[in-house]
Chain A
Amino acid sequence: MTPTPSSSSHRLPRLSLERRLTSPWWLSWVIPIASVALALLAGALIIASQGVNPWEAYRAMFEGAFGTGYGVAETLVKAIPLMLAGLGVSVAFRMKLWNIGAEGQLWMGAWAAAGVGLFLYPAWNLPPWLAILLMMAAAVVAGGLWGAIPGVLKGVLQVNEIITSLMLNYVAISWVLYFVDILWRDPGGLGFPNTAPLDKAIWLPKLTWIPFLPKGHRVHAGLLIAILAAVFIWFLLNRTKWGYEVRVIGENPEAARHAGMPIVRNIILVMILSGALAGLAGMAEMAGVAHRLQRGLSPGYGYTAIIVAWLAKLNPFGVLLVAVLFGGLLVAGDQIQLTMNLPRSISDILQGLILFFVLGGEIFGRYRLRLR
């Protein structure tokens, strides 16, 4: 898109992108809305191609995810891991560290928590509350360490963290499945690859006191953990010196270096924090919903979290809200099958479209299109 010196004879109008020096105040939220709207519009075309009225399909999705107490509860259940992993991803993104490894960090967190819950808890005869705290701590440590690997590689050796963090996802999942399939397999499970279920006493407690939700809903204390984590991250980034450093390094590494900020140390610390939050997401899903370690524990929460963080513009409270919307999208995937007879992949397609359009829309936040 570099403007070439225009030749003399035939001058056709050309599109070019120019960097914006300033952005109008409204642009930063018009663009995401327009992007999502365009994504839904593109999705509508795909739905229509299946011979279904897109209007009806979107309505069924919305009703399924938000229209009943049960739908809302399940949407929240789905949103919890997205919130925690999304917070983790957004912290790294703040420093322009592209941590694509939330999925693997989540699995490692779930794995460590399961180890505590399945083996330490009965062996040491721990009180349940302490076991739950230990499970959280184990998940934080495991996720954090897994995040630290690409952090150290990036900070010390300048290895691209996108590649290392992504590749480590596959390592982490294979590692955990080795335990699920072989080492920790439930001896009473007739060989099916699952660990034994956690003792009921150390399940994350259900939030039965939430009004309006139907009896027997599955919303668990992970929701509170996620909200607390969002407050913590917001405070850390906006009210502490360290958070200031992180933001400065993200926005202007040159300036940060001149100011003598410890960039390498902060890269590693941010990756640890990012991984720790994703690890908590794994713990919450394992101890709050699945109640055991199993294949398919995460249907890609760590990846969806990237979309969530990006759509939320890396704002911690925004992550909470966007996670709920995306949780709804995941739940709605069942609804459109049931009521509209559409394939399940439609909801995956919509997710992909939203990310595509949001990332594409970003360009218009930083550049303007010009015809000349």
Chain B
Amino acid sequence: MKTFSKIALLAILIMALAVVVAACAGGPQPTQKPAEKPAATEAPAQQPAATEAPKAEEPKLIKAAWVYVGPIGDGGWTYAHDQGRLYVEKHVPNVETTYIESVPEGADAERVIRDLAQKGYDVIFTTSFGYMDATETVAEEFPDTVFIHISGYKKNDTNFDNLFGRMYQMKYLAGVAAAMRSENGKIGYVAPFPIPEVIRHINMVAKGARSVNPDAEVQVVWINTWFDPPTEREAAETLLNAGNDVIVTGADTPGPVQAASEAGKWGLAYDSANACDNAGDGCIGVPHWNWGPAYAEIIEEVRNGTFKPKGRWPGVESGIVDFKFGPAATDEIKAKVTELKQAMIDGKFNPADGPINAQSGCLAVKEGETLTDEQLLSMKWFFEGVKGEIPEAQPPCQ
């Protein structure tokens, strides 16, 4: 009991100290105003002084916040989202932005999202699949705040929508490029989770690769994480040791491509436009995100009051997804990929078109038919040419 009172005293002292500290700092020192507000929110300098500008023309201030699953310096997924946020800062007038990085998917996410809503942010972008339920819960509590969840499938009728891009189109191009570069037709895929998004992307790599080399194979290693640099690299090394000579990654960092470059092989990175910059000479290219314009559009909708949840899934024609070449892209690869990309933009080619065989070789999508969005969004089966297993796969044909 004696020690208890000492500890109680200690705790009270610490708290008292902290209160005093807080009170002092909050008190008489206007010089120390929190000048370092979210550094990112440089007040828009071009904004005309309030007195001169006609009131009607000044757009309403919109405060937007982003919740990231990784650190903004991951060079991949989170970095790409943060580039989108910076795009908004640069191109959207009278907007204030902030972000919180490295928020674990789960119980912590709900706190962070609710906290942002409480702080009065008008739009909150939650940028990982695992934030879906937390976003839904908080969206219900704050009907006046707009919540945009990236990569999920839930939404409501008023203030909660999902946003993603048809990255599978670019993954098809990655498959084409991989098979053109590969010497043995063996491609390895570093795969995060067996969810439809990832399965779809693997499938499209296989389909793209087989369009070049009908014998090409895509071997899958599940790593069960989005962001874990050592695990990502190890998976790539495993795939390289198994004889694959092109590594395609679906995880957040360029580590797997670095590993391939170091082994004298090739790889395709993911997520951010400059992912090839630090991925060595073996980087063929990167299917990447370009979130900025989509974010800007949503923010303007919120400002104008025209926002409505609709399940947003734009493709390459909108620019939300794109493909950028790296140092290991040959001229033939560049020509072929550019041509295919243009065909997709023009609506002349759709990688979701049949015929498509399932892994077992049976015909899943007939010639002349196309995978529906519904089928793409709930995909639980592999295409022919994929070497790997989905837990509880649901093949469309036997």
Contact = CB atoms under 8 A, between A and B. Distances in A.
Chains A and B bind each other: yes
Contacts of B4: 315, 317-318
Nearest to B102: A344
B38 A192 contact: no
Nearest to A65: B18
B7 A312 contact: yes
Contacts of B25: 55-56, 59
Contacts of B6: 28-29, 313
A113 interface: no
Contacts of B196: 190-191
A185 B392 contact: yes
Most chain A CB neighbours (cut-off 10 Å) among B6, B7, B9: B7
Contact of B106 (A55, A296, A339, A341): A296
A290 B137 CA distance: 12
Interface string B90-121: 00000000111111111110111011101100
A123 B196 CA distance: 30
B8 A192 contact: no
B380 A343 contact: no
B294 interface: no
Interface string A233-252: 00000100000000000000
A274 B390 CA distance: 39
B307 interface: no
B193 interface: yes
A343 to B, nearest CB: 7
Nearest to A29: B6
A33 interface: yes
A79 interface: no
Interface in A161-201: 177, 181-182, 185, 187, 190-193, 197
B390 to A, nearest CB: 7
B100 A62 contact: no
Contacts of A185: 391-392
Most chain B CB neighbours (cut-off 10 Å) among A55, A338, A343: A338
B98 to A, nearest CB: 6
Given A32-B10, A52-B36, A317-B8, A285 B193 contact: no
B231 to A, nearest CB: 13
A278 interface: no
Contacts of B105: 294-296
B153 interface: yes
B18 A62 contact: yes
B332 to A, nearest CB: 36
A89 interface: no
Interface residues of A, number: 59
Nearest to A181: B224
Given A192-B129, A344-B101, A334 B224 contact: no
Contact of B22 (A63, A315, A317, A337): A63
Contacts of B380: 191
Contacts of A344: 71, 100-102
B390 A296 contact: no
A322 B7 contact: yes
Contacts of A191: 193-196, 199, 380, 390-392
B378 interface: yes
B106 A290 contact: yes
B112 A297 contact: no
A299 B101 contact: no
Contact of A318 (B3, B111, B112, B224): B3
A53 B195 contact: no
A317 B115 contact: no
Given A191-B380, A299-B108, A59 B115 contact: no
A38 interface: no
A134 interface: no
Contact of A192 (B34, B108, B141, B195): B195
Contacts of A317: 4, 7-8
Nearest to A74: B111
Interface in B1-51: 1, 3-4, 6-11, 13-15, 18, 21-22, 25-26, 32, 34, 36-40
A296 B11 CA distance: 30
A185 B224 CA distance: 13
B71 A343 contact: yes
A36 interface: yes
15 contacts: A33-B13, A33-B14, A74-B115, A177-B224, A191-B194, A216-B141, A289-B107, A295-B105, A313-B7, A315-B3, A318-B11, A325-B14, A338-B119, A341-B37, A344-B102
Given A74-B111, A338-B100, 10 more contacts: A33-B10, A36-B14, A185-B392, A193-B193, A295-B106, A296-B104, A299-B104, A318-B3, A343-B71, A345-B102
Interface of B: 1, 3-4, 6-11, 13-15, 18, 21-22, 25-26, 32, 34, 36-40, 71, 98-108, 110-112, 114-116, 118-119, 129-130, 133, 141, 153, 193-196, 199, 224, 378, 380, 390-392
Which 10 pairs between the two chains have the least Cβ-Cβ distance?
A318-B7, A191-B195, A321-B11, A289-B107, A296-B104, A341-B39, A344-B102, A29-B6, A296-B106, A59-B25
